[in-house]
């Protein structure tokens, strides 16, 4: 080998190898070490993931408790409403029966006293009037029928009668009186209806 200025040509290469810089530490923090992995796996060490999980569990438990309370309140309200409705029905029935007691009294007096035909009729008419008044207080109303135009919502036609003396579809006769309880149909009137044959 040749020499330059008294030095060997291989010396710079040896110097470069001897003074080679160590590998860069950039990115070393991103790679978990065995010690950090072991610390995360230890049961006594809390992590952010564990804290978030505990928070979600607490929120779930609070919601379940609230749901149970709401269900209990709803059930209590339902039972209270059913009890109040039952009490109202019993009270309404008691008032209705109380209003009919005078009618029973009048029937008993009529049966106890021997009377002639005219007196008996007068007593029956009085009882009938008492019964009408008692039912009217409860909201019972008779449905007008005879002479009225036939209304399928209020009348039930039992027979059609051919005639020229009444308007077509006019109620000629009431066979059984119909009633409404306030605004609700309780029973339609059974009627005969005219069928006008005039052309």
| 172-199 residue pLDDT tens | 999 999 999 888 898 999 999 999 876 5
Burial of 100 (0-12, 13-18, 19+ CB in 10 A): middle
Q: Is the pLDDT of residue 138 over 50?
A: yes
- Domains of the chain by residue range: 47-138, 141-199
Q: What is the Cα–Cα distance from 111 to 95, expressed in whole angstroms?
A: 26
Average pLDDT, the chain: 79
Q: CATH: 2.30.30.170, 1.10.287.3510, 3.90.20.20, 3.90.1150.10. Which one for 47-138? A: 3.90.20.20
Q: Name the pLDDT band for 4 (thresholds 50, 70, 90).
A: very low
Name the class of domain 141-199.
mainly beta
Residues 101, 127: Cα–Cα separation, whole Å: 11
pTM over 0.75: no
Maximum C-alpha span of the chain: 169
pLDDT value at 15 more than 70: no
160 in Cβ contact with 172 (< 8 Å): no
What is the mean pLDDT of the segment spanning 117-139?
A: 85
pLDDT recorded at residue 34: 47
Domains 47-138 and 141-199 agree in fold: no
């Amino acid at each position: 080998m040749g020499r330059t200025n008294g030095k060997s040509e291989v010396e710079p290469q040896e110097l470069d190898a001897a003074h080679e810089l160590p590998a860069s530490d950039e990115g070393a923090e991103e790679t978990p070490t065995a010690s950090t992995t072991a610390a995360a796996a230890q049961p006594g060490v809390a992590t952010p993931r564990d804290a978030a999980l505990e928070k979600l569990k607490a929120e779930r438990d609070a919601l379940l408790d609230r749901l149970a309370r709401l269900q209990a309140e709803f059930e209590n309200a339902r039972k209270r409403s059913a009890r109040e409705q039952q009490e109202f029905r019993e009270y309404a029935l008691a008032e209705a029966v109380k209003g009919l007691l005078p009618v029973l009294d009048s029937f008993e007096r009529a049966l106890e006293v021997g009377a002639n035909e005219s007196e008996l009729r007068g007593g029956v008419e009085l009882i009938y009037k008492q019964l009408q008044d008692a039912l009217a207080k409860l909201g019972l109303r008779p449905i007008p029928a005879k002479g009225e135009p036939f209304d399928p919502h209020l009348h039930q036609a039992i027979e059609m009668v051919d005639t020229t003396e009444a308007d077509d579809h006019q109620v000629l006769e009431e066979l059984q009186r119909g009633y409404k309880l306030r605004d609700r149909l309780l029973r339609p009137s059974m009627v005969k209806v005219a069928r006008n044959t005039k052309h």
